[in-house]
Chains A and B, each alone.
Chain A
Amino acid sequence: MKREVPLFITAVIGLFMILSFFVPHQWVSVPADFLQGSAVILVAFGYVLGGANALRVNFDGISRRSPGWQYKVVLVVALLTTVTVGAIEGREFLNPGMRSKWIYDWIYSPMASTMFALLAFFIASAAFRAFRIRTVEAGLLAVAALIVMLGRVPLGDLLTDWLFQLKWLPGAPHTLHLSTFQEWIMDIPQNAAKRAIIIGAALGVMATGLRVILGIERSYLSGED
C-alpha cells in the first residue's frame, strides 16, 4: 500500500496530464489545471522542506561539534535571521526599504554573483593544464573552440582580417572574417549535432516519462517500505 498507492497516483495523474495536451474540453482541462496548481504549491512546500532540512543537518553538526562547526553556526544564524526578518515584514518583504531587500541586495546578491565569477579563473587554468589535444577528434574540438572564442569578440576580426580578407591578393572579395567562420560553425555543423542531441534526448525524456508513469521507474519513492 505504501508503494502501490503512490505508484497508482503517479500513473493516473501522468496519463491525465498527457490527455490534457490533446483534449481541451473542460472535463479534462479544469482537473488538469487543478493538478498543475497543486504541483506548484507542493514544489513551494518542497523548498521550505529543503530549508528546514538544511537547518536540521547543520544543527546536528553543531551539537556533535563536527569539524568546521563554527561555520555551521554562521549558517544557522544567517538562515534564522533571514527567515525571521522576512516573516515579520510580510508579503512586501522584497519591496524597497525593507531589511529583507537589503539582505538580498547586499549580502546574497554580491556573493551569488561572485561564486560564479570564480569559474572564469578556473577555465583559464584548466585551458592551460588540462586541455590536451591527443587525437584528431580533440583537435577538431580545439579548432572549433578557438574559432568560436575568437570569432565572437571584436578583437578576433581585427587581428585576422588581414588573413581572411586576402587584402594582399588583388581583386579578392573583402567579405570574409573570422566571425563569418564562427557564424557558419554555429549555423551548420554545431546546429546539426545539437539537433541530433535534442532529438535523442527527447526520445529519452519520452521513454523515461512513460517508464515513470507506468511504474517501471520507481527511484523517486526511495526507502525500504
Chain B
Amino acid sequence: MPWISKLDTLDRRWLFLVMGLLVAGPLIFPAGLPLKVSPPVRSFHDTIEKVPNGSTVFMPCDYDPGARPEMVPMTKTAFRHLLSKDCKVVVTVLWNAGPGLVEATLNEVAREFPNKTYGVDWVNLGYKAGDDAVMVLMGQGIKNAFPRDYRGNPTSTIPLMNNVRDYSSFPLMVNISAGFPGTKEWVQQVQSRFHLPMVSGCTAVSAPEYYPYLQSGQLQGLLGGMAGAAEYELVRGEKGLATKGMDAQSLAHMFVAFCIVFGNIVQRLKRREAA
C-alpha cells in the first residue's frame, strides 16, 4: 500500500501545520466546551476560602514568561480571590526572569480593587537568588532576606511588613510555581520545617509529582496546568485566559492522541507489508 510508505516518511512540517490550525481555530472561533471542577482544584479554592478575612497570606510566585499561559491565569484568580477576602498578600519571586511578569500581573488585578493600596494591602518583595537557601533564610526573618521590595523601597518602611516577621505571620502559603525552585522546595524547606499550610498552582508538567504531597496532606490543594487554572476560574465565576484556551487544548489533545494511535497503526501495517 503506497500510502503507508508515504505516511511513514511524512514531512513533520505537515503535522506542525495541522497542530497550528487546530490550536488557532478555537481561539478565533470559540466553542465554549463545558468544564468540570476536579477535587484538587476544589480543595485549592476551599482552603483559601477558609482563611479568615483580613489575614496576611504569603504568595510566592516562582515562574517566568516561559510558563506564562499556565501561571498568569492562576496568579490572577488567586490574587483576586485573596483581595476579595480583604486578605493582605506578601509576594516573592525566586525565578530570575519572573519579577517583571509577576509585578505586571499583580498590578493588573490590583487595578480592579481601587480601595487596595500597594504597601498596605499587598507588597511584591521581588526577586532573590539562592532557591532553597532563601526559603530557609526567610524562616528567620523575611525582612532580613528582603531588605528592599521590588520597587526599591526598604521593607522596614512598608506598613504591611510591620506585622510580618517570619512564616508564623501567615496562616497559608499560596504557591504558584513553574518548576525549580518551586512547590517541591517549598514543601521540603518550609511546609515540613515551619509547618506552614500550603496550596499550590503548578505547571501540568510538574503536577503529577505533587499528587503524593496532596495525598499526604503536605499540600491542601493543587491546580495543575491550564486545565486547573480554567477550573479555578469556573469555581470563582470568572472567564479568563485559561478558560478561553481550553477549547484549543481539547482539539490539540485529540490530535496528539490520534497521532499516537495512527502512528502505531501505520508502523504495524508497514511491518506486516515487509513481512
Contact = CB atoms under 8 A, between A and B. Distances in A.
Contacts of B66: 112-113, 115-116
A154 B250 contact: yes
A212 interface: no
B263 A153 contact: no
A121 B246 contact: no
Q: Majority SS of interface residues in chain A?
A: helix
Given A33-B137, A94-B100, A125 B212 contact: no
B137 to A, nearest CB: 4
Nearest to A149: B253
A168 to B, nearest CB: 22
A191 B216 CA distance: 11
B56 to A, nearest CB: 22
Contacts, number: 165
A96 to B, nearest CB: 8
Contacts of B164: none
B27 interface: no
A4 to B, nearest CB: 25
Nearest to B207: A186
Interface of B: 10, 12, 15-16, 18-20, 23, 33-36, 38-39, 64-69, 96-97, 99-101, 103-104, 128-131, 133-134, 136-137, 140-141, 144-145, 148, 150-152, 193, 208-209, 211-212, 215, 227, 246, 249-257, 259-264, 267
28 contacts: A33-B140, A36-B130, A37-B137, A37-B145, A91-B148, A92-B152, A104-B97, A105-B100, A105-B104, A108-B65, A109-B68, A112-B64, A112-B65, A113-B68, A124-B15, A128-B262, A131-B263, A132-B263, A142-B260, A146-B257, A149-B253, A150-B254, A153-B249, A154-B35, A177-B36, A183-B39, A187-B215, A191-B211
Given A116-B66, A150-B257, 5 more contacts: A36-B134, A91-B152, A128-B259, A149-B253, A150-B254
